[in-house]
Amino acid sequence: MSSSGNSNRWLIGIVAVLLVALCGALCIAGAGLYFLMQPGTIGSTPVSSGTTPGGIPTVTAPRAPAAGKNTLRLPGRGSGDPPTLDPALAGDADSAVYVVEIFSGLVTLDKNLKVIPDVAERWEVSGDGKTFTFFLRKEAKFHDGRPVTAQDFKYSIERVTNPALASHTAETYLGDIVGVKEKLTRKAQAVSGVEVVDDYTVKITIDAPKAYFLAKLTFPTAFIVDKNNVERGGRTWTDKPNGTGPFKLKEYARSQRLILTRNENFYREPKPQVDEVQFILGGGSAMTMYENGDLESVYVTISDIERVSDPKSPLNKEMTVSAELSTDFIVFNTRKPPFDDPKVRQAFALAIDRAKVVEVVYRKMSNVAPGILPPGMPGFVEGQAKVAYDPAKAKQLLAESKYAGKMPDITWTTVGAGGSAAQSIQAMTAMIKENLGITVSIQQTDWATFIGQLNDPNRNPFQIFDIAWIADYADPQNFIDILFRTGSTQNWAAYSNPDVDKLLDQAAVEKDTAQRFKLYQQIEQKILEDYPVVPFTVSNQYWLTKSYVKGMVYPPLIIPRLQYISLEK
């Protein structure tokens, strides 16, 4: 997501003595506390990669709000507050994790990542594969009890495609619908491809038959919002959102907590089983809170992985390891010198020993990314596309580049709040210094500012930066097309290759699944030969969950999951 973003996960920084094993260039003083925020992002989810303030991790747990017997308490997603709770603007995992519980759309993903009916109880597809007719559930209601109609869906699509709203995900996820691009470019007043047949029937026409179209409708951009709620609430309408999802927003105290309550009138199975879900957004150590009994589940960080993995530890029995469909990337802005030269991009890529960073810094909680697609993604082929570590060739390429001897200043932008930057970033910039003789400055910024600037590809100010993408749906198109098609709003590298675009057009309409996946594999290879990005890491998720929590879901991407959970205290 989007930019997983940020599928955001905590990884606690380690003291610099661990980095001594890298090489003489990596003798970095000091200790730091940092996150690796992975999708994202919201694949689409993008996911932030960044740091928190440096220093010694605190062991003082924040004060938890009062919790009832049937209350689920969880750590917040990422580094604190979600950038937005507006589904039309939620393009990152930090936002999407809450949005998918409060709002919903015509279809959704179940815990097996299968597209299933949501507000729509069923649909029909025309013989040419271009027209989808959705039949809405008559029992579906907004949180205030008003029935959901086809007009509500039509309003939501017209709203998100209004150029004035400036949704950076509208074209990406809805652009296949006839009339969306025309509306976004002010060539049309309405989206012609969305037709209200009657109160409970809506037709959607797309420009060509595409196997992944239904999956795109599971993304928040296609969610239904209440016109009265949006227009009467003004700029702060999401403070009291009238959604249709399994949970309602009860309270949002920024930088403190976000509390959801069960939607008693939720229209489909499984219905929510817990009365309340409290997300703790800031302060103290989540692991300490978990061990004190103030959280029901927590992500295991680098600082705790060894003791939790010890079979003798009582925590070991509570640990679950699950895969995540996300890839962390090092991104080169191909519009910014010196990365407009492909030889410079390749030189930087070959100068970084990713395997050593993973071994020493991440304690093998992450693995070196084998390519753009993460393992487990349909269409993934092991060994399909690898980026080597070759300092000698890196020096040669740099000498052959147009910037040889006249390298401009270079700044690596990463998410953080001051203090020591992530040890992984320090290690990689040290490798670049050692192998290429280039000093790279590190600049930290907060996630909301970072993603806001990044989502305007024409004004992206960053030269080189790190970010992760978490899948929105299980299809290679969600990575290969969305991140690398010319002009895509999630094309962070501003990469453009006409041959890649032609193959993407071919893959989009290919009906044979095996052949379509082969096309994406071919495209992936072409992209990596141009080095707009360096696939950095892929990771598993390590979670601790109390034994009385039943039905906990650890999905590899962002889905509505709270409705599956119950408590047996």
> Tell me, what's the pLDDT at 68?
73
Phi, psi (5° rounding) for residue 124? -125, 145
Task: Determine which of 306-310, 385-389, 491-495 has the lowest per-residue pLDDT on average.
Answer: 385-389
Per-residue pLDDT tens over the stretch 238-250 = 999 999 999 999 9
Mean pLDDT calculated for residue range 388-415: 96
> Tell me, what's the pLDDT at 259?
98
Higher pLDDT: 484 or 420? It is 484
**Closest of 207, 83, 79, 249 to residue 508, by C-alpha:** 207
Q: Is the distance from CB of 220 to CB of 103 less than 8 angstroms?
A: yes
Question: Over 70: is that where the pLDDT of 418 sits?
Answer: no
Beta strands in 333-397 (DSSP E): 366-368
Higher pLDDT: 12 or 150? It is 150
CATH of 104-233 given 3.40.50.11540, 2.40.50.140, 3.40.50.300, 3.90.76.10 = 3.90.76.10
Assign residue 83 a region: left if phi > 0, alpha if psi is -120 to 50, beta otherwise?
A: alpha
Which token pair is 566?
């119950």
Q: Is the distance from CB of 205 to CB of 130 less than 8 angstroms?
A: yes
Per-residue pLDDT tens over the stretch 87-106 = 999 999 999 999 999 999 99
> Tell me, what's the pLDDT at 78?
74
Quick one: three-class SS letters along 30-90? CCCCEEEECCCCCCEEEEECEECCCCCCCCCCCCCCCCCCCEEEEECCCCCCCCCCCCCCC
Model confidence band, residue 460 (pLDDT cutoffs 50, 70, 90): confident
Task: Determine which of 104-108, 213-217, 442-446 has the lowest per-residue pLDDT on average.
Answer: 442-446
Element (H, E) at 321: strand 319-323
CATH of 1-60+319-569 given 1.20.120.80, 3.40.50.720, 3.10.105.10, 1.10.10.10 = 3.10.105.10
Per-residue pLDDT tens over the stretch 530-556 = 999 999 999 889 999 999 999 999 999
Which token pair is 79?
């580094």
Task: Determine which of 166-170, 189-193, 536-540 has the lowest per-residue pLDDT on average.
Answer: 536-540
Mean pLDDT calculated for residue range 430-454: 93
Question: Over 80: is that where the pLDDT of 366 sits?
Answer: yes
Rounded to whole angstroms, the Cα distance separating 380 from 517 reads 8
Which token pair is 559?
């889905």
Rounded to whole angstroms, the Cα distance separating 355 from 21 reads 12
Which residues partner with 36 through β-bridges?
9
> Tell me, what's the pLDDT at 421?
63
Q: What is the DSSP string of 89-116?
A: T--SHHHHHHHHHH---SEEE-TTS-EE
Q: How large is the angle between the packed helices 498-509 and 477-484, nearest 10 degrees?
A: 140
Q: Is the distance from CB of 385 to CB of 528 less than 8 angstroms?
A: yes
Model confidence band, residue 77 (pLDDT cutoffs 50, 70, 90): confident
> Tell me, what's the pLDDT at 509?
96
Higher pLDDT: 88 or 453? It is 88
Is this prediction's pTM over 0.85?
A: yes
Question: Over 50: is that where the pLDDT of 503 sits?
Answer: yes
The mean predicted confidence, pLDDT, of the chain is: 88
> Tell me, what's the pLDDT at 98?
98
Per-residue pLDDT tens over the stretch 264-281 = 999 999 999 999 999 999
Distance of CA 430 to the CA centre of its chain: 28
Model confidence band, residue 4 (pLDDT cutoffs 50, 70, 90): very low
> Tell me, what's the pLDDT at 20?
37
**Closest of 373, 380, 376, 385 to residue 518, by C-alpha:** 380
> Tell me, what's the pLDDT at 416?
83
Residue 51, CA distances (Å) to 88, 95, 212, 511 in order: 27, 18, 35, 43
Pick from 9-13, 46-50, 65-69 the range whose average pLDDT is largest: 65-69
> Tell me, what's the pLDDT at 283?
73
Q: Beta-carbon neighbour count of residue 37 at 10 Å?
A: 35
> Tell me, what's the pLDDT at 80?
79
Rounded to whole angstroms, the Cα distance separating 469 from 559 reads 15
Rounded to whole angstroms, the Cα distance separating 469 from 4 reads 4
User: DSSP 3-state helix, strand, coil percentages of the chain (rounded to 5)?
Assistant: 30, 20, 50
Higher pLDDT: 301 or 328? It is 328
> Tell me, what's the pLDDT at 6?
36
Question: Over 70: is that where the pLDDT of 489 sits?
Answer: yes
Percent of all residues in the chain with a pLDDT value above 90, rounded to a whole number = 78
Rounded to whole angstroms, the Cα distance separating 299 from 287 reads 8
Model confidence band, residue 511 (pLDDT cutoffs 50, 70, 90): very high
Question: Over 80: is that where the pLDDT of 23 sits?
Answer: no
Question: Over 70: is that where the pLDDT of 55 sits?
Answer: no
Question: Over 90: is that where the pLDDT of 148 sits?
Answer: yes
Which token pair is 351?
């100068």
Model confidence band, residue 33 (pLDDT cutoffs 50, 70, 90): very low
Domain extents in the chain:
1-60+319-569, 104-233
> Tell me, what's the pLDDT at 13?
34
Model confidence band, residue 182 (pLDDT cutoffs 50, 70, 90): very high
